[in-house]
Structures are given as structure tokens and as C-alpha cells.
């Protein structure tokens, strides 16, 4: 607003921002990360703060959704949702401890597919150059960071967080648009990603009593748009035909040039890209899976907001991307959240009680968390179980005649199925699967299934001989559930291998072994891009893939 500035006073700290700024974004830019299971959409109510300064006219008035979540009494006491609040005057705020994003630091939190680090390798580094490094997977929805001891080729610890760029939109097109149209959009998006890495590095080093200045290197993977945004490179060309990135080669930057605080001297490298929609995350996943040594017909599926699929062919590799959206990662779901403590990871239908029994993720058995939401694997599990029980039809609609008191109509008249009762949920509100959630899963699985079918058909393969399932939700997904909803072609369960965050594993390998980093370039050069959207059968195949027919 014409360059006017306002002040946020937080304890003894002063944060100066432009008038009209979003409070959550302003805090992220200052390195203060709040809980935001909904990605800053005003749906989860986790980013609660209290305005302690004078004057309600200094912030934007609450809208209906915020009024519902905070309540009249809370608003009267000055409580607001940071993601829904814009600043029009200087204020003081207090942040309750439960609103701060608390890192779940997992010591020795190695992703799978790292057996090669245990072998003697020509890429082993001497202990002094440097001792520690970060492997970073910047996903559209989730950011995962691994602190590695390069000298011993081990992962000392790991943590993850929702990508704070979600404030600008759930998918890469939204982020590209924000970079183009918002005032200083590119810089703001870059700052959000950089601060998240700073936050993760600080959390890991604090938990392991390591000086952050001993982290000398970082290797980053991510889709092409996320890599551009992190480096401060304009991603606009990825959003328009012919969807070409500004670069595909591996990039090198210093921490200072990006604005990293934990160690401005850190040397950050990215793995190479293949195309605008086949990024360094896919190359990292293929590197970790050692796909060069696997037989033709092997398919690696990296499930994320932008699903990426790479097929081992007789000649090399072929790959395509699928616009799956964030539903399979628990985002764009009414009660969706990250795969952290308190998330519903799987369910089973209880025939006697006609309800869903659920299993929660608990990272710390000594401090179990109540149900807070449902992550991607839980969403897939819920849809699969409701299909098996007959609560959902093959077309994806809830059967209104199904006898269960858990099947209810919401405020807008549409049906939803209660997964967690209000009395056992952290928020005191029931956790449900809505009709809109089911439709989001249909669109996601339809896009992914279409990509797999057409990629295999293009290379004269009836179906994959083996599927490696990677991605943020791959650590918890039940393979039978995935097959039931039609995520993959029907095949024996033993032919599907869940490999977790393979992209992150690839970043770890490239960080700890120079030979692996060099091999990533070879993989990128040998990968042929298959344009899924241009295929003449795409539209028909996509429509066929939407059904839940088993």
C-alpha cells in the first residue's frame, strides 16, 4: 500500500512489514513458523495468535470461516488466525506455544534406499571437507530435511514441515502465478522456502548439539518450479507452452546469495532437471532406486502434488508428469494434514459398529498425540475401506441408503463420513471425509493412472513388471488400498514396493558421494520426456480412470 510500513511487536522483537501484509506470511519471512495443517487456507484453526495491542481497526475484520473457528468469545479476547489476518496498523501479538510449529526431529531418520552408502565408494569424502551437510527435498506441499555426517556417510537426523509457500496456492501453477502477479512475489516465495530451510537446520542442529556453521554443503531436490523459486529464478516460462525451464543443468549457489541464515557460507547445489514438469526430485528418486541397474519394465512413481513417473525402457528411461494435485499428500482435504504425530494414517471398517477404526501416526510413543487430522495415506485408506463396505459407490458418491450413524449431511447438505468423533479429536470437532475430499482423490488417482497406462502403452508394455512407490505418503500407504481405488493397474501386491521419500534419499546420496552426484547428470540426459497431455488418447483414458471400478 504505497510503501507504508507497520510494526509487529512480538515479545522483545520488532518486525517491520508493508501495510496490508498477511500476518502469517510476515511471521514466516521473519523465521517464525506457525502450525498450518491446511496450508494457510483458514480451515484448520492451528495458527491462532492473540493481538495484545490496541485497536481492532489495525487488522482486517474476521470473515465467516474465522468466526466459526475462533468463536465470538475468542475474537472478543483478541484471538485471530494468522493466515486470515492482514495488518493495517502497528500491533503487538502473543503466540501461544501450541500455535508454534514444533519440529519432530527423528534421530538417524534415514530414508530407505540408502544401502549404497554402507558400501566402500570412490566418492567418499575426507572427514574434514566438510563434516556435515544438508539434503533437502523441497516439495510443493512438504519440505523434508536430512542432516548428514558426510565423513561417516550417515543421516544424523531428519525433520519435515509443510512448505510455507502454500499460502500462495496449493500447486505449482498457483505459485507461478503468484510469482508473476503479487508485489515482489518471486522474492516473497523464495523467502518462504529459505526460512523453512533455516528453521529445519536450526531444529536439527539444536536437537543434535551441532553448530550450524559446521554444515558446509547442501544438496537440494524438488520439482522444477520449486527449484526455480528457491533459487530466486523466474519460473514463468514453465507455466506457458512449451513449458521450458530457465535451466536444466545442476545449479550452485552460496547461502549468502539465497539469504540463508544458519550458515551464509554453505555451498548449495541442486540436482539437474529434465524438463519443466520433470524435476530434480524425480532424478533424485531414480538415483536412489539405482534404476540404471533395474530391468526394463520397472516403473518408479513419485507421488506428490505433481505426480512424476519414470519407466526403465530397453533404450534408457522415459518419464511423464501427472497433475495429481495435493490430495494424496493430505492437502486440499478438509481435515488433511502432514504425516506427523496425530495424523490418521490408516483405517479399517468395523462391520459390527459400522464405523471406521483408525490408526494414528505417533513419532514419540512416550508422548502420544490425539487425532488432529488425516494424512495422505489415511485419505486413500478411508476411500478404499468405504468402497469395500459399500458406503461409497463405484462412481465415487456416498450411498445415502447406507445404514450408519457416522454418515451424515454437512451444513451444505452434502454427505460426509465421520472418521474420528469430536470427543477424541484434538480440536473437539469431528474429523470427517467429505464428498469434495473423495472427488479430489478421484481426480488425483485418475491423473496418475492415466499417466502410467499411456506411458507403458507408448513403450509397448502391457503393464509394469514392478512398481516402486515413492513420495511423501509412500512410507505409510497400504498397497492393497492403492490397488482398490485404482491408483495402479491390477497386479500382484509383491510387485509393488513402497520406498518412501526416494527423492530425499537421492539428495542424501548425492551429498555424501560425488560419484552419485555425477550419475544424476547421466540419468537426466538419458531420460526421454513423454508429453502426456498431447497424447490423442489422454482425455478418454482420464475419464475412464476416474471410476472406482475394481
Q: What are the residue boundaries of the structural domains of the chain, listed by start? A: 5-99, 106-284, 293-326+440-504+529-545, 328-435
The whole-model pTM stands at 0.87
Please give the DSSP secondary-structure letter assigned to residue 537. Answer: T
Q: Name the 3-class secondary structure at 319.
A: strand
- Return d(Cα 332, Cα 440) in angstroms, integer: 8
Give me the mean pLDDT over the 296-306 stretch. Answer: 90
pLDDT score at 149: 93
- Is residue 162's pLDDT more than 70? yes
In terms of Cβ atoms closer than 10 Å to its own Cβ (0-12, 13-18, 19+), residue 269 is middle
- Work out the mean pLDDT of the chain and round it to a whole number: 90
- Whether 106-284 and 293-326+440-504+529-545 share one fold: the answer is yes
DSSP β-bridge partners for residue 359 = 346
Q: Which of 44, 185, 43, 27 is nearest to 91 (CA)?
A: 27
Return the CATH fold of 293-326+440-504+529-545.
Nucleotidyltransferase; domain 5 (3.30.420)
pLDDT score at 105: 65
pLDDT one-digit tens code per residue, 170-211: 889 999 999 998 889 999 999 999 999 999 999 999 989 999
Between the two ends of the chain, the Cα-to-Cα distance in Å is 55
pLDDT score at 402: 96
The secondary element (H helix, E strand) that includes residue 154 is strand 154-162
Contact 304, 324 (CB under 8 A): yes
pLDDT one-digit tens code per residue, 260-281: 999 999 999 999 999 999 999 9
pLDDT score at 107: 53
Lowest mean pLDDT among 48-57, 151-160, 306-315, 318-327: 48-57
Q: Which residues of 313-352 are buried (b: 16+ CB within 10 A; e: fewer)?
A: beebbbbbbbbbbbbbbbbbbbbbbbbbbbbbbbbbbeee
Architecture of domain 5-99: Roll (3.10)
pLDDT score at 102: 78
Q: Which residues lie closer than 8 Å to 209 by C-beta, 6 or more apart?
A: none
pLDDT score at 56: 67
Q: What phi-psi label fits residue 488: left (phi over 0), alpha (psi between -120 and 50 degrees) or beta?
A: beta
**Cβ neighbours, 10 Å, residue 534:** 7
Backbone angles phi, psi at 234, to 5 degrees: -65, 120
pLDDT score at 228: 98
Cell of 192: 518462504
Q: Which residues of 109-140 are buried (b: 16+ CB within 10 A; e: fewer)?
A: bbbbbbebbeeebebbbeeeebbbbbbbbbbb
DSSP β-bridge partners for residue 348 = 357
- Return d(Cα 362, Cα 360) in angstroms, integer: 6
Confidence of residue 473 (pLDDT cuts 50, 70, 90): low
pLDDT score at 1: 47
pLDDT score at 503: 94
Q: Which residue has the cell 478418454?
A: 540
Q: Does domain 106-284 have CATH number 3.40.50.300?
A: no
Please give the DSSP secondary-structure letter assigned to residue 371. Answer: B
- Is residue 125's pLDDT more than 60? no
Lowest mean pLDDT among 109-123, 131-145, 406-420, 452-466: 109-123
Amino acid at each position: 500500500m504505497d510503501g507504508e510500513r507497520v510494526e509487529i511487536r512480538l515479545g522483545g522483537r520488532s518486525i517491520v512489514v508493508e501495510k496490508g501484509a498477511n500476518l502469517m506470511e510476515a511471521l514466516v519471512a521473519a523465521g517464525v513458523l506457525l502450525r498450518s495443517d491446511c496450508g494457510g487456507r483458514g480451515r484448520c484453526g492451528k495458527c491462532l495468535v492473540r493481538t495484545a495491542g490496541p485497536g481492532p481497526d489495525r487488522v482486517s475484520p474476521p470473515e465467516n470461516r474465522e468466526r466459526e473457528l475462533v468463536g465470538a468469545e475468542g475474537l472478543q479476547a483478541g484471538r485471530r488466525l494468522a493466515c486470515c489476518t492482514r495488518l493495517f496498523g502497528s500491533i503487538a501479538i502473543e503466540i501461544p506455544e501450541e500455535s508454534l510449529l514444533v519440529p519432530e526431529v527423528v534421530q538417524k531418520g534415514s530414508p530407505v534406499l540408502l544401502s549404497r552408502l554402507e558400501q566402500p565408494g570412490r566418492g567418499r569424502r575426507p572427514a574434514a571437507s566438510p563434516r556435515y551437510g544438508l539434503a533437502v527435498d523441497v516439495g510443493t506441499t512438504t519440505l523434508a530435511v536430512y542432516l548428514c555426517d558426510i565423513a561417516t556417510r550417515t543421516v544424523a537426523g531428519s525433520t519435515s514441515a509443510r512448505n510455507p509457500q502454500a499460502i500462495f496456492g496449493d500447486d505449482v501453477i498457483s505459485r507461478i502465478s503468484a510469482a508473476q502477479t503479487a508485489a515482489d512475489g518471486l522474492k516473497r516465495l523464495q523467502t518462504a522456502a529459505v526460512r523453512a530451510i533455516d528453521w529445519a537446520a536450526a531444529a536439527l542442529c539444536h536437537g543434535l548439539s551441532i553448530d550450524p556453521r559446521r554444515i558446509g554443503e547442501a544438496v537440494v531436490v524438488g520439482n522444477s518450479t520449486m527449484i526455480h523459486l528457491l533459487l530466486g529464478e523466474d519460473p514463468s516460462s514453465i507455466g506457458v507452452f512449451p513449458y521450458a525451464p530457465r535451466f536444466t543443468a545442476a545449479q550452485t549457489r552460496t547461502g549468502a546469495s539465497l539469504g540463508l541464515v544458519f550458515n551464509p557460507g554453505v555451498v548449495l547445489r541442486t540436482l539437474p532437471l529434465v524438463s519443466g514438469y520433470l524435476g530434480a526430485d524425480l532424478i533424485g528418486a531414480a538415483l536412489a532406486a539405482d534404476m540404471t541397474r533395474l530391468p526394463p519394465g520397472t516403473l518408479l512413481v513419485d507421488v506428490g502434488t505433481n505426480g512424476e513417473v519414470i519407466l526403465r525402457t530397453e533404450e534408457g528411461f522415459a518419464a511423464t508428469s501427472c497433475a495429481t494435485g495435493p490430495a494424496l499428500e493430505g492437502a486440499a482435504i478438509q481435515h488433511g494434514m502432514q504425516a506427523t504425530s496425530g495424523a490418521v494414517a490408516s483405517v479399517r471398517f468395523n462391520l459390527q459398529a459400522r464405523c471406521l477404526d483408525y490408526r494414528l501416526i505417533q513419532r514419540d510413543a512416550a508422548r502420544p498425540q490425539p487425532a488432529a487430522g488425516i494424512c495422505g495415506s489415511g485419505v486413500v485408506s478411508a476411500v478404499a475401506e468405504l468402497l469395500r463396505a459399500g458406503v461409497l459407490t463405484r462412481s465415487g458418491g456416498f450411498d445415502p441408503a447406507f445404514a450408519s450413524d457416522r454418515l451424515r449431511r454437512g451444513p451444505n447438505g452434502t454427505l460426509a463420513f465421520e472418521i474420528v468423533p469430536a470427543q477424541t479429536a484434538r480440536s473437539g470437532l469431528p474429523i470427517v471425509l467429505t464428498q469434495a475430499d473423495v472427488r479430489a482423490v478421484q481426480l488425483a488417482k485418475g491423473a496418475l493412472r492415466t499417466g502410467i497406462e499411456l506411458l507403458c502403452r507408448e513403450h509397448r508394455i502391457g503393464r509394469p513388471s514392478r512398481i516402486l512407490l515413492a513420495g511423501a505418503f509412500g512410507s505409510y500407504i497400504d498397497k492393497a488400498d492403492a490397488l482398490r481405488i485404482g491408483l495402479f493397474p491390477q497386479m500382484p501386491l509383491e510387485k509393488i514396493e513402497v520406498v518412501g521419500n526416494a527423492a530425499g534419499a537421492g539428495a542424501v546420496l548425492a551429498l555424501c558421494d560425488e560419484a552419485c552426484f555425477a550419475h544424476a547428470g547421466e540419468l537426466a540426459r538419458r531420460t526421454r520426456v513423454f508429453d502426456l497431455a498431447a497424447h490423442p488418447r489422454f482425455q478418454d483414458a482420464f475419464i475412464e480412470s476416474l471410476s472406482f471400478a475394481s
